[in-house]
Amino acid sequence: MADEALFLLLHNEMVSGVYKSAEQGEVENGRCITKLENMGFRVGQGLIERFTKDTARFKDELDIMKFICKDFWTTVFKKQIDNLRTNHQGIYVLQDNKFRLLTQMSAGKQYLEHASKYLAFTCGLIRGGLSNLGIKSIVTAEVSSMPACKFKAH
């Protein structure tokens, strides 16, 4: 169980580290989120390469999204995505009701405005994974109440 805590704590420190270094330089808040997202992007690319080494080839986009929801999420966060919805025109919504990185923060509406910082890395993770599998996408996240959150990919 200790290894989950490792990543959680490292991730939290990473977010606060990026913001602290930004305070000395530029004050643009958007830049920090971009930095975190790009970090997640590169990590996602490498992770996907490792995870798809032994799996069979994917037939279509839906297959890829299912893989991300099940295997990828399980390996990274030790649980599956609770809900995947699509409009069959290229927009997929992944819903996680108990997002690992947010469970420690609050169980309701407190700290809602800070949640986006912590979700940027995961958005990049998904985007990097998809791009390595050949899908260009934009991933956004929204939180209505902790610790549930939705990731939208299109």
Partner 1 sequence: MAVCIAVIAKENYPLYIRSTPMENELKFHYMVHTSLDVVDEKISAMGKALVDQRELYLGLLYPTEDYKVYGYVTNSKVKFVMVVDSSNTALRDNEIRSMFRKLHNSYTDVMCNPFYNPGDPIQSRAFDSMVTSMMIQVC
Binding-site ranges for partner 1 (CB under 8 A): 42, 45-46, 48-50, 52-53, 55-59, 132-134
Compare residues 52 and 122 and give the one whose CB is closer to partner 1.
52
Separation between Cα atoms, residue 77 and residue 75, nearest integer Å: 6
Q: From its phi and psi, is residue 95 left (phi > 0), alpha (psi between -120 and 50) or beta?
A: beta
Residue 52 or 141: which CB sits closer to partner 1?
Answer: 52
Q: Which is nearer to partner 1, 43 or 93 (CB)?
A: 43
- In angstroms, give the least distance from the CB of 22 to partner 1: 21
Nearest approach in angstroms of CB 46 to partner 1 is 4
Please give the C-alpha separations between residue 147 and each of 32, 61, 104, 107, in angstroms, as whole numbers: 22, 28, 9, 6
